[in-house]
A and B are shown apart, each in its own frame.
Chain A
Amino acid sequence: MKIQKLLLLVSLVGVCLLLLTLQTRGYGSAAGDLLTMVTAPVQTGLARASRATFGLWATYLDWKNVRAENHRLREEVQDLRVRALRVSDTDVENQRLRRLLGLQEKLPLTTLSGEIIGREWGGWIRSLTVNRGRGDNIPRLSAVLSPDGLVGRIVDVRPGASIVQVLTDPASTVGAHVLRTRTPGIVEGDPRGTLRFKFMARDGASIQNGDVLVTAGQGGLFPRGIPIGTVRAIDNRGAALFHYAELTPAVDYARVDEVLLVTGDTQRDLTAFFPADG
Chain B
Amino acid sequence: MRGLLVLTVAGGSVAHATLTPMVSVRGVTPDLPLIMVILLALRRGPEFGCLAGFVTGLLQDTAGGGLIGVQALTKAIIGFGIGVAGERLRVSQPLVQVPGLVVLTILEGLARFALLQIFRFPAPFGELMMYVVLPQALFNGFVGAAVVLSLAASQVLRERFQGQPS
Contact = CB atoms under 8 A, between A and B. Distances in A.
A171 interface: no
Interface string B15-35: 101110010000000000000
Interface residues of A, number: 27
Interface of B: 10-11, 14-15, 17-19, 22, 46-47, 50-51, 54, 58-59, 62-63, 67-70, 72-73, 76-77, 80, 115, 119-120
B115 A20 contact: yes
Contact of A8 (B15, B51, B70, B119): B51
Contacts of B62: 32, 35-36, 39
A9 interface: yes
B69 A17 contact: yes
Contacts of A20: 67-70, 73, 115, 119
A276 to B, nearest CB: 80
| Main SS class of interface, B | helix
A202 to B, nearest CB: 102
Contacts of B63: 39, 43
Nearest to B72: A16
Nearest to B74: A16
Contacts of A28: 68
Interface string A1-44: 00011001100110111111101100010011001100100110
B76 A9 contact: yes
A79 B50 CA distance: 67
B19 A50 contact: yes
Given A12-B76, A20-B115, A20-B119, A50 B18 contact: yes
B18 A24 contact: no
